[in-house]
Amino acid sequence: MKTAIVLHPGREKSLNRRHPWIFEGAVAKLVGQPHKGATVDVISDDGTWLAKAAYSPESQIRARVWSFEQNEVIDDVFFKRKIQEALNVRQQWLGASNTNAYRVIASESDGLPGITVDKYADILVMQLLSAGAEKHKSKIVNALSTIFADHVIHERSDVEVRRKEGLEPLVQTHVGELPASVTIEENGLNIEVDLVAGHKTGFYLDQRKNRMIAGALCKNKRVLNCFSYTGTFSLYALQGGAQSVVNVDVSQSALATSQRNIELNFSSEEQSKVSHIKEDVFELLRTYKERGEKFDVIVMDPPKFVENKRHLERAARGYKDINRLACELLSPQGTLLTFSCSGLVSQDLFNKIIADAALDANTQLNYLQRLEQDSDHMIASSFPEGAYLKGLVCIKRN
């Protein structure tokens, strides 16, 4: 044992349940002088070996587990095996799906903490958010290039959360030449993805099945798509026969991409059913309320409102406000599809927020269906934090 972290008494319980995080307060002492990203043994206070983990001296998550097998070597073979296993599972579950874009690696849920990889046609976009992932970057790229021959491999680690690990945000292409955008296929639709400046790795793959659910509810309906980004809920709404669709977002570039997506898929007559409004959603909803506007279907898919527990109360107020306004804008028996992608907002809390929003709007909602991230964004039973996206299909009863 060259380098190790030794835990305080009782702090091995989460590891015995295979949870992959070891927090700063759990560490009693270091053995040796591990550097950032180094693989260390994790030892209980009584000397029992527990796991192999990546050490991160600047993060509150002091180590992230690579393996619970004592003889495991964290090398090229390890990463190739783990990535191939993750791909095999996706291919099994997505085999019948009509798409060429999906999440290949879902970080801790695939036993690869801090590593996210999304596939857009023949382009892989990865984010490396932990010290261990950064340490083994060359191994990860080598494994991806071996398994996904002839794919471009691009890194979009341009997120501030890397600073918590003592890492700088960065963007770089490792294999091939990156185009500015790529057009993917999803359930009979063509969708342009901005690989350079798009949100996350470029697109919200996690909403795929929820877009299908939304589209099926839109026949002959007036649809309001809030925080519309590049308009994919609207594509499904038109595909489902919507009477009209309004996209609202503060980003002109996102709305421009939305317009191109509409043009890629629909005739001039169908395109005329769609309008794009560059506006703050909160302000526009208030304006619509004052005008007495009504919609049959409202999609409320805001960005993450909360990054840490200190902001949770403020975020809850924001979610409540927009959903209260949505309730007031719904026509009788109208449908609200509402989401939160904030991991710190639990399903129970989200349910309460929506219930309080309906109460303040002096209306009654019935929950018809719970929604969650699509199956390629898998959730390990030992890592409930992987369940970040939650949503509800609601119907207005009065």
Q: What is the pLDDT of residue 1?
A: 55
Average pLDDT, the chain: 95
Q: What is the pLDDT of residue 177?
A: 97
For range 132-148, the mean pLDDT: 98
Q: What is the pLDDT of residue 303?
A: 83
For range 239-268, the mean pLDDT: 97
For range 193-214, the mean pLDDT: 95
For range 282-288, the mean pLDDT: 96
The answer to whether residue 214 scores a pLDDT higher than 60 is yes
Specify the CATH number of the domain 76-181.
3.30.750.80
Quote the CA–CA distance of 187 and 130 in Å, as a whole number.
34
Residue 222, C-beta contacts closer than 8 angstroms, at least 6 positions apart? 242, 243, 244, 294, 295, 296, 297, 331
Q: Which stretch of DSSP H or E encloses residue 256?
A: helix 252-265
Task: Tell me how far CA of residue 265 lies from CA of 117, 239, 249, 311, in angstroms.
Answer: 27, 9, 21, 40
The answer to whether residue 315 scores a pLDDT higher than 90 is no
For range 244-262, the mean pLDDT: 97
Torsion sign across C-alpha atoms 157, 163, 166, 170: positive
- List pLDDT tens digits, range 151-198: 999 999 999 999 999 999 999 999 999 998 999 999 999 999 999 999
For range 139-155, the mean pLDDT: 98
Q: Tokens 């710190």, residue?
A: 344
Percent of the chain with pLDDT over 90: 92
The answer to whether residue 59 scores a pLDDT higher than 70 is yes
Confidence of residue 314 (pLDDT cuts 50, 70, 90): confident
Residue 297 — φ and ψ, nearest 5°?
-135, 130
Q: What is the pLDDT of residue 388?
A: 93
Percent of the chain with pLDDT over 70: 98
Instruction: Report the topology of domain 204-396.
Output: Rossmann fold (3.40.50)
Residue 81, C-beta contacts closer than 8 angstroms, at least 6 positions apart? none
Q: Which CATH superfamily includes the segment(s) 4-67? A: PUA domain (2.30.130.10)
Q: Tokens 């060259």, residue?
A: 2
In 3D space, the residue among 103, 28, 102, 99 whose CA is nearest the CA of residue 63 turns out to be 28
Q: What is the pLDDT of residue 304?
A: 79
Catalytic annotation, pick one of 218, 226, 327, 341: 341
Torsion sign across C-alpha atoms 11, 12, 13, 15: positive
Lowest mean pLDDT among 133-147, 202-216, 239-253, 296-310: 296-310
| β-pair partners for 191 | 184
CB atoms closer than 10 angstroms to residue 243: 14
Residue 234, C-beta contacts closer than 8 angstroms, at least 6 positions apart? 223, 225, 228, 242, 245, 247, 258, 262, 274
Task: Tell me how far CA of residue 10 lies from CA of 6, 7, 264, 381, 384, in angstroms.
Answer: 11, 8, 58, 22, 21
Confidence of residue 95 (pLDDT cuts 50, 70, 90): low
How many helices (H) does the chain have, and how many strands (E)?
11, 20
pTM over 0.85, yes/no: yes
Q: What is the pLDDT of residue 278?
A: 98
Q: By CB neighbour count within 10 A (0-12 exposed, 13-18 middle, 19+ buried), where does 310 fall?
A: exposed
Residue 226: active-site member: no
Q: What is the pLDDT of residue 96?
A: 56
Residue 363 Ramachandran class (φ > 0 left, ψ -120 to 50 alpha, else beta): beta
Q: What is the pLDDT of residue 2?
A: 83
Give 87-90 contacts, CB < 8 A, sequence gap 24+.
Answer: 87/147, 89/378, 90/376
Task: Give domain limits for the chain.
Answer: 4-67, 76-181, 204-396
For range 373-392, the mean pLDDT: 95
- List pLDDT tens digits, range 6-41: 999 999 999 999 999 999 999 999 999 999 999 999
The answer to whether residue 352 scores a pLDDT higher than 90 is yes
The answer to whether residue 355 scores a pLDDT higher than 90 is yes
Q: What is the CA radius of gyration of the chain?
A: 23
